[in-house]
Chains A and B, each alone.
Chain A
Amino acid sequence: MDRDLDMSYNNEPQYPSSSPSLRDGSLDQGDVMIRVWDLVKEFPQRQGGFFRAVDDVSFQAHRGEIVCLLGVNGAGKTTTMRLLSTVFNPSSGNAEICGYDIRKQAQKVRENLGFLSGDTGLYNRLRAREFITYFGRLYGIEDAVIGSRIREMTELLDMNEFLDRKIDFLSSGMKQKVSLARSIIHDPPVMIFDEPTAGLDILTSRNIVSFIRDCKKRGKCVLFSTHNMREAERLADRIVLIHKGKILADDTLGALRDQTGQVDLDDIFVYFLNRMAGETEVRSDEF
């Protein structure tokens, strides 16, 4: 029973040495994989006017780097990630994933992107293997390749026991593993995790955390969002603080500490919130 909770990476499985997207570019360690500039997303409101969920956001993320999008609920994290994964169209500004334009090359962007959110659902009537195969086919991967990828991931995520069981009968930890396998079936160079641990128990969230670390180890660029300061502290190479759709700060934890004179990420966050409130004094009542 504990098997699915225990993520043992001791055997260090190997990903296929080159994914198609990495082969065609000449990207090296440190290459910019996510480039976002002046990104704006407005939603029309019934009472007229627009609500700016993402307000002039710019940042970058590199190969082998874990970047954390940190903010309270409703800060614009999910909207930003949905823009990057081409679920939404930006109102203005733009972004590139692996050099592909999110507006004009949406299909290419999605091919190079693995996406996982905390509240992802699964098709309960499918077996785990069928579920992963389905998405593999949607990514246009040959069945033989899907087969071998599933074998690799089964080993990596220790899914052997339940691979041919219907998802409906799996525990939440097992389901989470199936979701993880689904998100990397096409071995994407960029991974986006939207609040991946929200609503999960401690053990399952630990699985996710080690999975994210593992992605970094394999040279992937990881962007993950959370409102959990502790998680951000533990995982992120760089932290992008976001509030009310605007970026408050974007730096390494160390640099942020130096800049603010605070140690705790909580305090750093509050420091920037106060600064933002100070800049727009009139609006301070909103906090």
Chain B
Amino acid sequence: MSFKKALTVYRKELLELFRDRKTLFTTIILPMILYPLIFIGYSALMIRQTGVLEQKGALIAVTDSVNDQYSQTIIRHLIEIENFQYKEHGEQSKELYEDKVIDGIITIRDSTLSPGVNAYLISVQYDQATDKGRMLIEKVRQAFSAAEKEVISGLLLDKGVSDKLLESVIVKEIDTSTEQKRMGMILGMILPYLMIMLLITSAAVVAADLVAGEKERKTLETLLVSAVARNEIVMGKYLTIITFAFINVIINLFSLFFSMRYMLSMSGIQTEGVRIPLEGFGILLLALIPLATLFASILLSISTFSRHMKEARSYEQPLLMITILLAMISFFPAIEMNKLLALIPVVNISLLFKAVMINDYQLSHLLLTIGSTIVYDILAIWMTIRLFKTEAVLFRVDDDSSIKNIRKVKQSLFNPYYGLVYFTLSLLALFYLGRHFQSGDNLLKGLMQTQILIILLPVLLLIRLLKLKPKEILRIKMPRPKELVLLPFITIPATLIVAYIMQLVDLVFPIPAEYYEMMKKIIKISPNPWILFLSIAVLPGICEEVLFRGWLMRFYEHGGKVMAVVYTAMFFAIFHMDPFRLLPTFFLGLLLGYLTIRSGSIVNSILSHTINNGFAIFAASYAGSRVMQTLFADSEHINHWILPPAVIIFAVSLILFHKATAPKENLCAE
């Protein structure tokens, strides 16, 4: 790759962007005007509004059914509230309150707390949902707390007790936080969200223009026939997006910084000792670079895939929405950074930001955040370059994929897009219906309903509806004896390897103890080992294999067998909706996919899946037995020595399976 040519592309793209008035306005001019307007205008308005509200006061209906000197004290304190007016509580008060003529109703009654102790029971009726209601309750509370003290001290004096007793407990609050830290906390909540949003929205505008825009304006082909390599084009465009997004972020921050400083000085808040933490910003900009590059490459992929800018902008929407949701994590007070969260893009930056702002972050988290984002980033760039080299993507035309057409040409259903739609729908069904099924008392029934109604039945119905041949589509074929013999030797070591992967996951992100408890609960759903075996080994074996290896596999075969296996394994892993098992199930999905597509028989993967789940039940049920004690160090951990023999047996059996299912022999067998 010639970096010089990539730079040529980069320089030209920047030149073009900065000549575009629209982009110039949204990236540079708008933020410069927007923040001062928001901050100065908004804060002025806020102060004014609060003032106006207090001046307006409120009209309250009051009734005092006690009417002694103390209740009158309470009333006196109420009357002392500025701008508040009172009227006698009557029969029409309720109506007046509903018509909003009066803003509140206060009644004072007496009540008996315990024998001999009387109390003043005050009820305040107000509307928390209105500004006036909130102002009212705040003022009234202040009045009551002053009144309360006076009343109690009067009561004590009546009984001949000194009112000094009221001060027997004195609470003194010592707040050790500095202005600086408080400022950091507020900034840490708002800024990450703001910066991530700015980064992605500005990158999205540019990215859509860079490839989809070129397709739309018919300049892409010219670029492709010139003597520039495709990865040079990608690199040039990718740098453009990053640069632009960064310029936007920096200008925004700059404008924000000055507006805030102005606002602080205007509002008379003690600004001495309060600084905007600049070195924190330095660290964050550094951490933002990998995120910017990640966004850039994902957005560039979207732009490459899209036929025109409008399409690119609509495909960008889901990414923007996910990013907004993830970035909002900084608003949740209880969530703090840990090693697992440091691996989730956007979330990691958002939390790191928060920690840096109050100067309370760990270097390991910073490194994990940057490191993991770089890894995703490299993957995303690789994907983008691959996409850019794929003719079918670069010169994508609209297919006739209407329902009508599917009926006519059944095969047209099986394309990756519909595969994704089907998977998403199943996932949603699992999330909503599956939870519903399994929330009842009978977990066993719920699990079985989920397997049959959500996973298996829709596939069979669709096959029926479209009049497809189930045997052919789902690859229902008896495997040869050789394959059947090899299956346990492949599956059981694989199960142990998967368990080992799980252990490794546990090392990096500690799996909570509740998780194991939950798993154990599933094993205990039935005391009958046969029912247990049927419901969590055989049934998932059949249903899940029909969905993933039978049905979904068909949608991805055009892209080659390897990709079909990888995609279905990915779906299989996501379908379990369990972050801790993501990697282990993905591995298992790869194996099961291979078994089916290699042998041309789904029976293999059904059996393998059943053996895998069955072995897990067996291991849990006979945890105390001698065999299990040799395999397992404790209930969750297998012994390390297991790994080498497991890998060897797995590999050898797999090679034998691969040989036994060689295409040539396949032909002979048929």
A122-156 interface (Cβ within 8 A of B): 122-126, 130, 134-135, 137-140
**Inter-chain contact A107/B227, CB cutoff 8 Å:** yes
In the bound complex, what is the Cα–Cα distance between A47 and B412 (angstroms)? 4
**Which A77-121 residues have a C-beta within 8 angstroms of B?**
82, 85-89, 107, 110-111, 113, 115, 117, 119-121
Contact present for A89 and B411 (CB under 8 Å): no
Nearest CB of chain A from residue B659's CB, rounded to whole Å: 30
Contact present for B399 and A46 (CB under 8 Å): yes
Q: Is the CB of B15 within 8 A of A130?
A: yes
Name A49-103 residues within 8 Å CB distance of B.
82, 85-89
Cα(A139)–Cα(B219), bound, Å: 16
Instruction: Collect the chain B residues with CB atoms within 8 Å of residue A138's CB.
Output: 5, 8-9, 223, 226-228
What is the CB-to-nearest-CB distance from B515 to chain A, in angstroms, rounded to a whole number?
42
Interface residue B404 (Cβ < 8 Å from any Cβ of A): no
A16 to B543, CA, bound (A): 72
B225 on the A face (CB < 8 A): yes
Neighbouring A residues of B16 by C-beta, 8 Å: 123, 125-126
Residue of B whose beta carbon sits closest to that of A182: B222
A254: Cβ under 8 A from any B Cβ:
no
B511 within 8 A of A: no
B109 within 8 Å of A by Cβ?
A: no
Whether A140 contacts B392 in the complex (CB less than 8 A), given A115-B222, A117-B221, comes out as: no
Asked if B217 is an interface residue, CB under 8 A from chain A, the answer is: yes
The verdict on A121 contacting B222 (CB below 8 Å), with A48-B411, A130-B15, A138-B8 known, is: yes
**Which residue of B12, B225, B414 contacts A110 across the interface (Cβ within 8 Å)?**
B225
A120 to B415 alpha-carbon distance, docked (Å): 31
B172 on interface, CB distance cutoff 8 Å: no
| Most A Cβ at <10 Å: residue of B218, B222, B227, B414 | B227
Interchain CB contact under 8 A, A134 and B411: no
Given known contacts A46-B399, A46-B412, A122-B219, A115 and B225 CB-to-CB distance under 8 angstroms: yes
Tell me which residues across on chain B come within 8 A of A88, comparing CB atoms.
391, 395
Which chain A residue lies CB-closest to B19?
A125
Is there an interface contact between B221 and A120, defined as CB atoms closer than 8 Å? yes
Could you tell me the distance in whole angstroms from the C-beta of A243 to the nearest C-beta in chain B?
21
* A121 with B391: CB separation less than 8 A: no
Contacting B12 at CB < 8 Å: which of A43, A113, A134? A134
Which bucket holds chain B's interface residue count? 20 to 34
Docked Cα-Cα span, A122 to B227, in Å, equals: 17
A137 contacts which of B8, B224, B409, B558 (Cβ < 8 Å)? B8
| B344 located at the interface, meaning its Cβ lies under 8 Å from any Cβ of chain A in the complex | no
Chain B proximity of A131: nearest CB distance (Å): 9
- A120 vs B221: C-alpha distance when bound (angstroms): 8
Within 8 A of A (CB), among B191-228: 214, 217-219, 221-228
Residue A238 lies at the interface, judged by CB distance under 8 Å to chain B:
no
CB distance from A220 to the nearest CB of B (A): 16
A177 within 8 A of B: no
Please give, as numbers and ranges, the residues of chain A lying within 8 Å of B2 by CB-CB distance.
140
Closest residue of chain B to A139 (Cβ to Cβ) is B227
Q: Which residues of chain B are within 8 angstroms of A25 by Cβ–Cβ distance?
A: none
Q: What per-residue 1/0 map shows which CB atoms of A29-45 lie under 8 Å from chain B?
A: 00000000000000110
Tell yes or no: A246 within 8 A of B by CB.
no
**Which residues of A lie under 8 Å from residue B391 when comparing CB positions?**
87-89
Q: Which residue of A lies closest to B228 (CB)?
A: A138
Given contacts A44-B558, A47-B412, contact A125 B8 (CB under 8 A): no
Q: Give the distance to chain A from B44, nearest Cβ to Cβ, in Å.
A: 40
Q: What separation, in Å, do the CA atoms of A259 and B453 have in the docked complex?
A: 70
A139 touches B225 (CB 8 A): no
Q: Which of B5, B225, B409 has the most CB of A within 10 A?
A: B225
Residue of B8, B9, B392 contacting most chain A CB atoms (<10 Å): B8
Contact with A along B399-410 (1 / 0, CB 8 A): 111000000010
CA–CA, A130 and B401, complex, Å: 43
Which of A48, A113, A139, A140 is B558 in contact with, Cβ under 8 Å? Answer: A48
Most B CB within 10 A of own CB, among A111, A115, A134: A134
Please give, as numbers and ranges, the residues of chain A lying within 8 Å of B525 by CB-CB distance.
none
Min CB–CB distance A19 → chain B (angstroms)? 13
B229 at the interface (CB under 8 A from A): yes
Assess whether B409 is in contact with A47, with CB atoms less than 8 Å apart: yes
Asked whether B20 is an interface residue with its Cβ less than 8 Å from the other chain, the reply is: yes
Query: Across the interface, which residues of B come within 8 angstroms of A124, CB to CB?
Result: 217
Bound-state CA distance A269–B8 (Å) is 46
Residue numbers in B under 8 Å from A115 (CB-CB): 221-222, 225
A139 to B8, CA, bound (A): 11
Nearest-neighbor residue (CB-CB) of B17 within chain A: A125
Q: With A46-B399, A125-B20 known to touch, is A86 a contact of B225 (CB < 8 Å)?
A: yes
A139 to B400, CA, bound (A): 39
In the complex, are the beta carbons of B226 and A139 less than 8 A apart? yes
Q: How far is the CB of B236 from chain A (nearest CB, A)?
A: 10
* A66 CB to nearest B CB, Å: 20
Closest Cβ–Cβ distance, residue A46 to chain B (whole Å): 5
Question: Which residues on A sit within 8 Å (CB–CB) of B224?
Answer: 85, 87
Q: Tell me, in angstroms, the Cα distance from A166 to B632 when the chains sit together.
A: 74
CA–CA, A102 to B409, complex, Å?
Answer: 36
Which of chain B's residues have a CB closer than 8 A to the CB of A126? Answer: 12, 15-16, 19
Chain A min CB distance to B466 (Å): 13
Closest chain-B Cβ to A121's Cβ sits at a distance in Å of 4
Question: Are A44 and B392 in touch, CB under 8 angstroms?
Answer: yes
Question: Which residues of chain B come closer than 8 Å to A140, judged between CB atoms?
Answer: 2, 5, 227
B219 to chain A, nearest CB (A): 4
CB-CB under 8 A for A123 and B219, given A46-B415, A138-B5: yes
Residues of chain B in range 374-420 having any CB-CB distance to chain A below 8 Å: 391-392, 395, 399-401, 409, 411-412, 414-415
CB within 8 Å of B: which A243-266 residues: none
In the complex, chain A residues 145-202 whose Cβ is within 8 Å of any chain B Cβ: 166, 182, 186
Least CB distance from A71 to B in Å reads 19
| Closest partner residue, chain B, to A131 (CB atom) | B12
When chains A and B are docked, how far (Å) is the Cα of A130 from the Cα of B12? 9
- Specify which of B19, B229, B411 is in contact with A107 (CB 8 Å cutoff): B229
CA distance A138 to B227 in the complex (A): 6
A132 CB to closest chain B CB (Å) equals 12
Please give the distance in Å from B615's CB to the nearest CB on chain A. 38
> Cα distance A146–B224 when bound, in Å?
20
A64–B266 CA distance with the chains assembled, in angstroms = 78
- Evaluate contact between A119 and B226: CB separation under 8 angstroms: no
Distance in angstroms between the alpha carbons of A119 and B220 in the assembled complex: 11
Minimum CB distance partner of B409 in chain A: A47
Contact in complex: B221, A135 (CB < 8 Å)? no
User: A121's closest neighbor in chain B, by CB?
Assistant: B218
Contact check, B392 vs A120: say whether CB atoms are below 8 A apart.
Answer: no
Q: Which of A44, A82, A120, A134 contacts B218 (CB 8 A)?
A: A120
Besides the contacts A123-B16, A125-B20, A138-B226, what 4 more A-B pairs have beta carbons closer than 8 Å? A47-B409, A119-B218, A126-B19, A138-B5
A interface residues, Cβ below 8 angstroms from B = 43-44, 46-48, 82, 85-89, 107, 110-111, 113, 115, 117, 119-126, 130, 134-135, 137-140, 166, 182, 186
List, sorted by A's number, 20 A–B pairs whose CB atoms are closer than 8 Å.
A43-B392, A44-B392, A46-B399, A47-B411, A48-B411, A85-B224, A107-B227, A120-B218, A120-B221, A121-B214, A121-B217, A122-B217, A125-B15, A126-B12, A126-B15, A130-B12, A137-B8, A138-B8, A138-B223, A140-B2
Chain B residues at the A interface, C-beta cutoff of 8 Å: 2, 5, 8-9, 12, 15-16, 19-20, 214, 217-219, 221-229, 391-392, 395, 399-401, 409, 411-412, 414-415, 558
**The 3 A-B residue pairs with the shortest CB-CB distance in the complex, in nearest-first order:** A121-B218, A47-B412, A115-B225
